[in-house]
Structure 1
Amino acid sequence: MMAKIEVALFMVLFLNFSLFSQEELDDYVIEYRAIARGMSRRVVVKHKIFVYHATRNHKTADSLEIKNEQRAKLVELLEGLPLKGMPYLKPPSDKRLADGAPHAKLKISLKKRTYESPGFDHGNPPEEIKDLVEFVLNIAESVVQKE
């Protein structure tokens, strides 16, 4: 009898934990911006929607629904990020400081907190966020290629 109670208690706790963590992961926003003279790119990923802006005033946008595989990969990449250390990441290059590359930033809102990277060269993010940035930009490329 005691074993059944323990198993039932474990199942209830496990299921509640899983639902709670899934609810938290559904509440994320990833925003990538790249800006230079005459050029502006903004990518926003929120839950299951991906929005790509390619003009300076952001009046026009393309969007698509994220596939389950893409969403799973995004969640996996988010889980591996050093969110609290994002403001202290060191960019690998500084071409943006002399107009040699667009100025880029990554901002992540998760669990009602916002984490933002320092500026870095578009196309050359800090190593710690590189996989996420490249994945988001690859999704953006797929949106542009559909046009």
Structure 2
Amino acid sequence: MKSSIKLLALLFVFQFGCKSSEKTSAEKENKINISEVTIEAITRGKRENYSINPKQFSYKSTSKGETNVEKVKMTIDEDQWEQLEGLVAAINLARINTLEVPSKKFQFDGDLATTLNVNVNDTVYTSSTFDKKNPPEEIVELVNYIYSLKKE
């Protein structure tokens, strides 16, 4: 009786263990390969660049009279990168350049003209230009997440 229960328990664990590893393999095959995400924000007299890859985050800023000054540089941990991957996966990258922007203050220097670039599988997807403080709804979570890294 005990050996029958042990055998059933072993079969149960083996059956669900195999399905779990199959799912992991399938998830890995469907996973996109992001090499870098950047945000570039420009106006007269000021330029900002945010860059994040699996190893590090950096923020650079240039103002009148300054050269490209690196303000923040930090190592990215696995959790931060996974969160970024999830935010990118939620975006339709093929349509990112056609996103409607909620405001256009950048057209008269009311805000920095900003673009989001996502490098996936050796293809760079570039968003339409938007106000730094008012990104399109479809990318607002990703953009705000990258901005938040500057403050950490």
**Shorter chain as normaliser: what TM range?**
0.7 to 0.9
Provide the residue aligned with 2:48 in structure 1.
41
**How many residue pairs were aligned?**
137
Provide the residue aligned with 2:39 in structure 1.
32
Provide the residue aligned with 1:137 in structure 2.
147
Instruction: Note the residue ranges of structure 1 that are not aligned, 5 or more in a row.
Output: 1-6, 143-147
Provide the residue aligned with 1:3 in structure 2.
none
Identity level (%)? 24
State how far apart, in whole Å, the 1-side matches of 2:99 and 2:23 are. 35
Provide the residue aligned with 1:17 in structure 2.
26
Deviates most, 50-59 or 68-77: 50-59
Equivalent of 2:118 in 108, 120, 123: 108
Is contact 2:38-2:116 (8 Å) kept?
yes
Shift of residue 99 of structure 1? 0.9
Quick check: 1:99 aligned with 2:104?
no
Is contact 2:36-2:54 (8 Å) kept?
yes
- TM-score normalised per structure 2: 0.76
**RMSD, matched Cα:** 2.6
Cα distance per residue 1:21-59 (max 9 Å; x no partner): 56x43x421010111122111011111211111126435
In structure 1, give the amino acid aligned to 2:57: F
Provide the residue aligned with 1:65 in structure 2.
75
State how far apart, in whole Å, the 2-side matches of 1:69 and 1:12 are. 21
State how far apart, in whole Å, the 1-side matches of 2:110 and 2:24 are. 51
Quick check: 1:52 aligned with 2:62?
no
- TM-score normalised per structure 1: 0.79
